[in-house]
Structure 1
Amino acid sequence: MKKEGLFYTVDKDGKILCELCPQRCHIKEGGIGFCGARKVEDGVLYTLNYGNISSASMDPIEKKPLYHFRPGKFILSVGSFGCNFRCGFCQNYSISQTQPNTQYLTPEELIDLALKQENNTGIAFTYNEPSIWYEYIKDVCEKAKDKNIDFVLVSNGYISEEPLESLLPHISAANIDLKAFDNKFYKGVCGGDVKIVMRNIEKMHNKCHLEITTLLIEGYNDSEDDVSKLCKWIADLNPNIPLHLSRYFPSYKFDAPATSLERMSLCRDIAKQYLNYVYVGNVQDADKNTYCPKCGELLIKRTLFDTEVLLNNKNCPVCGHDINISL
């Protein structure tokens, strides 16, 4: 379905200026924006992906990854197509950088589908970049405001301020990819600006449940200095924000070797100097449990097939320490 986009103006040359994200594309008649999901026709900016779902799955909430939000629950995860980054290592490039086959669902149909699922806490907008699916996400959220549904974003955090502030009241939780702490990496590898992502993380961390993921690529964004700076910056916001350090494997345009287990362990140890909750992803047999940062008591036990919550409400059952978690 084609629908007029939000957040655009006409510039002095008659081109459309899309202001949804910081790419701020000037799009001529018949042209498509950097994200591949917004097109100008007859002087109007239209979305190309409204309601078009390329992927849908019932996932454990921990797979997003969200470890401190509704542990043990499932979430209906949906994605469309397009992205406002060009990450050469993208794991989902078949939908982020192309237009795959899709199935159209109205906002009402997606909400109904979510409500029918067992042990489902809500809907996660994920797989490709959800911010460029903005109009559909906002419609879904607004139409479900009385349905007791959690809405989750798994995003690169590259969105303009006004759209973000308009959407945030609807969002229960988010996992933001902070891809590096080096703007050369962001510009050269992703096509973005790390300062904008940092600004948006700052805006989000007090308005919804927030977790952060960094994919570590050996020789690119894993220096001890960069990891220390990244973790210190997160800790200055709140040392209780969970950080997921994810292991890179070759994908898309990147053929560098997979990040070594030794490097993952080193970066995890650095992160733990600053942050109370650090998890390692894409590593078989890694400890995925949550422990009390004060006394070390096991609080959430995670296995391949089960999640066991051992908290006393939101507190450690041994020392009573308040845990950053949404049950």
Structure 2
Amino acid sequence: MAYTYQRKGRLECLLCPHHCRLSEGEVGICKVRENRQGQLSLPYYGVLSAVANDPIEKKPLYHFYPGSSILSVGFYGCSFHCPFCQNYQIAQYTPERVEGRVEPEELVRQALSQDTKSIAYTYSEPTVHFEWVMETARIARSKGLKNVLVSNGYLNPQPAAELLEVMDAANIDLKSFREEFYRNVVGGHLAPVLAFIRQAAASLHLEVTTLIIPAYNDTEAEMREISSFLAELDPNIPLHLSRYYPAYRFDAPPTKADSIFALRKVARQRLNYVYPGNVGSQEVTTYCPGCGAALITRRGYRVENRGIKDGSCLACGRPVDFPV
């Protein structure tokens, strides 16, 4: 199987930067990739934690066919161990018994039978199920469906290139711009995530989400670094600043809404599209960077095209840089 290497009787997984070296019977940090008789085994191939038809804004994706529905597919396991994980029941655990498996062809048939034009690989970390996602995405694309990746971006460059080739859009978590945060809080490293974001920005439609956690990543200085990094790639990359709520092992109070809006103001000095998340705000309208006219209005998941016609702003004629 691809992305493995035999080393002194142990199996090294080359999929993500952890490079787990597994003895017989051991599983990787992700909990879903195992050394079985010297070969990489995928005990949870096709084992899905959820399948649901969602508004695409829930991913969140605001600039990729806004207002459309998307078939969202969830898994088990993750390459990070975020103590504030909102989906820890599926990301940090695996089922004791496998009740059933969904083949890629079956999932694509389900998507085609519903009023959706795309599939999202989401909820927990899809990249640790690389083989199933790749096969499903290839089939989906051959049937005219779009593929969307919602990921922590912790993948080595070669498999990342292969995966991004079959994706049409992605929302990547940039949890912090501090190596110490990645190393000490979530159990990873910053540089591979930045490299993945660079690859994605050059390959497909990209949006980025940062969960703002008080006393961890909520300074204006760090937000300037995040927004500067993204602006160097493309100032039109949408950035979602999501409000933290207590979950899993974190019980600190929720992030104050005022903090989200203050950081949004900082990020908008460099980026054209910055959206608050989890604050119950109506300030999620998409405005034309050229003239300031409202293009897409949102109230919850109710979305309306108010100012785009034939791919351009109705008010000033500026081309709109995303598909509607």
Q: Into which bin does the TM-score normalised by the smaller protein fall?
A: over 0.9
Alignment correspondent of 2:105: 108
- Amino acid paired to 1:201: I
Maintained 8 Å contact 1:80/1:102:
no
Does the 8 Å CA contact 2:140/2:146 hold for their aligned counterparts? Answer: no
- Which one of 317, 320, 323 corresponds to residue 323 of structure 1? 320
In structure 1, distance between residues paired with 2:220 and 2:88: 29
Match of 1:198 in 2: 194
Q: Which runs of 5+ in 2 are unaligned?
A: none
Corresponding residue for 1:258? 254
Q: CA deviation at 1:47?
A: 1.2
Residue identity matched to 1:316? C
Q: CA RMSD of the aligned region, Å?
A: 1.1
Aligned equivalent of 1:56, options 51, 59, 67: 51
Once the two structures are superposed, residues 157-205 of structure 1 have per-residue CA deviations (whole angstroms, 9 ceiling, x without a partner) of: 0001111111212101000000001110011111111111111111111
Question: What is the distance in 1 between the residues matched to 2:301 and 2:264?
Answer: 24
Q: Counterparts in 2 of 1:154-173, with a 5 A limit?
A: 154-173=150-169
Counterparts in 2 of 1:256 and 1:312: CA distance versus 1, 3 Å: same
- Structure 2 Cα separation of the partners of residues 229 and 314 of structure 1: 32
Aligned residue number for residue 185 of structure 1: 181
Residue 240 (structure 1) aligns with: 236
Partners in 1 of 2:323 and 2:175 — Cα distance? 25
Any unmatched runs of 5+ in structure 1?
none
* Counterpart among 18, 24, 37 of residue 42 in structure 1: 37
C-alpha displacement of 1:314: 2.4
Query: What TM-score comes out, normalization by structure 1 length?
Result: 0.96
Q: Is 1:20 paired with 2:19?
A: no
Tell me by how many angstroms 1:307 deviates.
Answer: 1.1
Aligned length: 321
Give the TM-score normalised by the residue count of structure 2.
Answer: 0.97
The equivalent residue for 1:301 is 297
CA offsets per residue over residues 271-310 of structure 1, 9 Å max, x none? 1111000000001134111001121100001123521113
Describe how 1:122-133 pairs up with structure 2 within 5 A.
Answer: 122-133=118-129
Q: Distance in 1 between matches of 2:320 and 2:100?
A: 40
2:310 pairs with 1:313: yes
1:103 Cα deviation (Å)? 4.0
In structure 2, the partner of 1:137 is 133
**Partner residue of 1:71 out of 60, 66, 73:** 66
What amino acid maps onto 2:57 in structure 1? E
